[in-house]
Amino acid sequence: MSSMVGTGAGQAGSAEGDWMMPPLSVLLKRELTSEKIGKPDILHGLASRSKKGEDLTFLKTECQRVPGNGATTFSVFALFDGHNGLAAAIYAKENLLNNILCAIPSGLTRDDWLAALPRALVAGFVKTDKDFQDKAEPSGTTVTFVIIDGWAVTVASVGDSRCILESADGSLYLLSADHRLDENKEEVERVTASGGEVGRLYLACGAEIGPLRCWPGGLCLSRSIGDVDVGEFIIPIPHVKQVKLSNAGGRLIISSDGVWDALTFESALNCSRGHPADIAANKIVKEAVHVKGLRDDTTCIVVDLLPPENISPFVSQPKKKGMRVLKNMFHKKPYDLPSHLLVRNYFGPYAVEELFEDGSAVLAQRLNMVYPICNMFKLLVCAVCQVEMKPGEGISVHAGSLKSGIVCLWEGPLLCQSCQFKKEAMEGKRPSRNLCRKLDGNEYY
């Protein structure tokens, strides 16, 4: 934004004389005002009841796409539900945003920045997981990571925390995926094909109990960050969904499984309706604990996107009874379509427009998206960890193995050798590292 102002002033000054141009401060104010009109007011609230102390949150409303330029502000709301210790959740909370932002080239326009986000989220999640696993500490974490820029909401998720959106017309959207093995047959097939075993706990009498778990390790999730001792078929590649709200606004509810094991989406919305975000979050946590007792960490973040200067809490238009539907998948579409070729959906003034969705576990596919701005990623930088490579050093993300991996630049994006190892381990083509801890009957989680 500041560079646009600078260029404009320079051109006008040389061509028509300085007197034609308003002072820079006036131009900047205009820019900020027009950005302001195009942006929602964002009000948020957080509530949490702790049982194990393994839910962490990260709330930051003053991030900047262009450092130092207040007109490029965006917000981040993230929830980390740790297991088997806090280390992975702490590590992700401290490093994930930076790893995502480092995967976005600088100097992009706002639209290009938004288009680059899905791929950067994949790179950031995988890098964070890989770096944490290098520390060889046990523990893992779910992540629900929400980025709000203007009316665009981008959600990246691994694990079983969930993010829902209620739009102004009362429609309900699920913006995250559920990576519980019990709930996701596709993921059971992927884990099994990559060398994991999926089954329930056996009692001595031969009966099976509890949820489906992945063995070794006994984790009941198929995706997470961390979990070095479980096996790398438990992958950190997030489901990513990007939508654009109408300027009538909407309410997001981001909660850990402590809430969703007790409440339906409807009951969470209903028990908090008409209240400002902070009170709404408290009501949802209170209701969840009331229904099921405090059996797990129970955390809720409520985010209201409001038309500017609207100080009332977000309240949707009531739908006719029986007409309300969960629009969790919009239109199911093949994953190999470039995002800019997808037909966008407009259904009316309050409609939520889908910009992007991909939940594939295939890293090559997730890094290979064809953007309208296809040249914006540097050719000789690892697409995951961003390390610079010498010509000929990178390995095509499409390479099946290291032997056939040294390829020409146009077969990019490229990975460094270390990230190629990670990719092969996630696909079950290479043994997981540090998979040496024996399950003693008490170590499942």
Interface positions with Zn ion (CB under 5 A): 382, 384-385, 416, 419
**Nearest 5°: phi and psi at 123?**
-60, -45
Rank residues 253 and 384 by Cβ distance to Zn ion and give the closer one: 384
**Least distance from C-beta 297 to Zn ion, angstroms?**
33
* Inter-residue contact 249 to 306 (CB < 8 Å): yes
Instruction: Find out whether 219 and 425 touch, Cβ atoms under 8 Å.
Output: no
Q: Are 231 and 216 in contact (CB under 8 A)?
A: yes
In angstroms, give the least distance from the CB of 100 to Zn ion.
Answer: 15
- Residue whose CB is less far from Zn ion, 101 or 301: 101
Rounded Cα gap, residues 411 and 383, in angstroms: 13
DSSP 3-state of 168? coil
Q: Nearer to Zn ion by C-beta: 44 or 422?
A: 422
* Identity of the residue, 265 or 377, whose beta carbon is nearer to Zn ion in the bound complex: 377
State the minimum distance, in angstroms, from the CB of residue 384 to Zn ion: 5
Could you tell me the smallest distance in angstroms from the CB atom of residue 129 to Zn ion? 12
114: left (phi over 0), alpha (psi -120 to 50) or beta: alpha
Output the six-digit token pair for 222. Answer: 């198929």
Question: Rounded to the nearest whole angstrom, what is the least distance from the CB of residue 233 to Zn ion in the complex?
Answer: 20
Nearer to Zn ion, 120 or 382 (CB): 382
CB nearer to Zn ion: give 81 or 232: 232
Q: Tell me which amino acid residue 92 is.
A: A
Report, in Å, the least distance between residue 387 CB and Zn ion. 5
In the block, residue with structure tokens 């043994």: 431
Provide the terminal-to-terminal Cα distance of the chain, rounded to the nearest Å: 48
Residues 151, 247: contact at Cβ < 8 Å?
yes
- Enumerate residues 6+ apart whose C-beta is below 8 A from 261: 288, 292, 295, 296
Q: Which amino acid is at 307?
A: P
Is-contact 130 433, C-beta < 8 A?
A: no
Query: Is 103 or 419 the residue whose CB approaches Zn ion more closely?
Result: 419
Q: Can you tell me whether residue 213 is helix, strand or coil?
A: strand
Which lies closer to Zn ion via its Cβ, residue 80 or residue 421? Answer: 421
Please provide the size of the chain in residues: 445
In the complex, the smallest distance separating the C-beta of residue 235 from Zn ion, rounded to whole angstroms, is 16
Nearest distance in Å: CB 417, Zn ion: 8
Task: Return d(Cα 173, Cα 167) in angstroms, integer.
Answer: 8
